[in-house]
Copies of this chain bind each other. A is one copy, B any other.
């Protein structure tokens, strides 16, 4: 075996997002780009705001000595100050700069958090459907990933959460606005989650952390509030990034903020510094730290996601598809339609079967099994309006032919 068994096995089970994106590429080569409508990747397609280019050029031209050198593992003190002020506003409570760690995006931040809090065998919970990478992040540190069923409408289910908790539960990862459902968890949902976690803490003496994965916080639709997990539950660690809000996913810049209401916030932050160092991040990229620090009130034209999502949702609804109304992020999580007459069960599962049915029509979606939820498929609408318009008649036809074929 030239490589680690775990890595080799994981490679054998390539992610569904990746697989469908590869299918799209193959199909484009076969039929031409105009015949393929690719909703597979959650890849922000907006340009950064104009202020970003200006800030970047300014920082790039800064002749000060040492601007590309090492800084403390947690980041530049002045950048942490600025980010703490912004995070305090988002979270509705005062977060000192000392509780902020700059990270290589949210993915880097989540790995640093999990390395810091997990002992081997510890359990990490997340509601279905979930971002499939969580599973690998947890595996990196010898943890066990435990999916928890959601309520109808893809809200956190407090009873399912209670049943999934154990003395080995280290944390619950809560992702809102949610990938893949587009749901934003409201205050009541957070309160219900907090109540169950607190009860667990009282009973076992181990208060699970709430790890709030918030890279989509800035992409919530008009009128939808993204409430503060830190106000809902004391043992909260927020992970976020500028990948979506400033449309910089390739630059790997984000942060972790530890709630001042945690029982031992300083121990956590010391752990984050250590984990940032020894995982080889060492620090978040210097230039991007200094660039985003001046752009904390800027964002890319994220309203365009709402427009595009609205158009796609309206078209699919008219065609007869069923899904929860999107509230943020840039995904629709759609129910696999019923057949008109009972059909023999497809061995691939209904979601994979339907995704392949869509693919025959040039429509690329990701089966729900990739998020722990067969019976659904995900559409990412970071695509052009032309792609959306062009796809709608095909989606309508796909639904009709699927029903008839039953």
Residues of chain A touching chain B, judged by Cβ–Cβ distance below 8 Å, are 2-8, 10-11, 43-45, 47-48, 53, 56-57, 60-61, 63, 65-71, 104-105, 107-112, 115-119, 133, 136-137, 139-142, 247-252, 262-264, 267-268, 270-271, 274-275, 277-288
List the 8 shortest-distance A-B pairs measured between CB atoms, nearest first. Answer: A250-B286, A111-B280, A136-B278, A107-B280, A2-B264, A108-B280, A60-B60, A3-B271
User: A6 and B47 in contact (CB under 8 A), knowing A247-B69, A278-B137, A287-B287?
Assistant: no
Find out whether the CB atom of B116 lies under 8 angstroms from the CB atom of A4: yes
Find out whether the CB atom of B68 lies under 8 angstroms from the CB atom of A282: no
Find out whether the CB atom of A7 lies under 8 angstroms from the CB atom of B271: yes
Which one of B133, B250, B280 lies within 8 Å of A283 (CB-CB)? B250
Task: Tell me the smallest distance from the CB of A113 to a CB of chain B, in Å.
Answer: 10
Which one of B3, B271, B288 lies within 8 Å of A117 (CB-CB)? B3
Task: Tell me the smallest distance from the CB of A336 to a CB of chain B, in Å.
Answer: 28
How many copies of this chain does one complex carry? Answer: 2
Find out whether the CB atom of B249 lies under 8 angstroms from the CB atom of A70: yes
Task: Tell me the smallest distance from the CB of A396 to a CB of chain B, in Å.
Answer: 31
Taking CB atoms, residues of chain B closer than 8 Å to A281 are: 104, 107-108, 252, 280-281
Q: Determine the distance from Cα of A261 to Cα of B40 in the docked complex, in whole angstroms.
A: 36
Return the chain B residue nearest A242 by Cβ.
Answer: B68
User: A252 and B104 in contact (CB under 8 A), knowing A7-B275, A116-B7?
Assistant: yes
Known: A10-B278, A104-B285, A250-B285. 19 other contacts (CB 8 A): A2-B117, A7-B115, A7-B116, A8-B271, A11-B270, A44-B69, A45-B66, A48-B68, A53-B60, A68-B248, A69-B249, A70-B249, A70-B250, A104-B104, A104-B282, A115-B140, A133-B278, A250-B283, A252-B281
Taking CB atoms, residues of chain B closer than 8 Å to A137 are: 278, 280
Task: Tell me the smallest distance from the CB of A273 to a CB of chain B, in Å.
Answer: 9
Taking CB atoms, residues of chain B closer than 8 Å to A139 are: 278
Q: Determine the distance from Cα of A267 to Cα of B109 in the docked complex, in whole angstroms.
A: 28
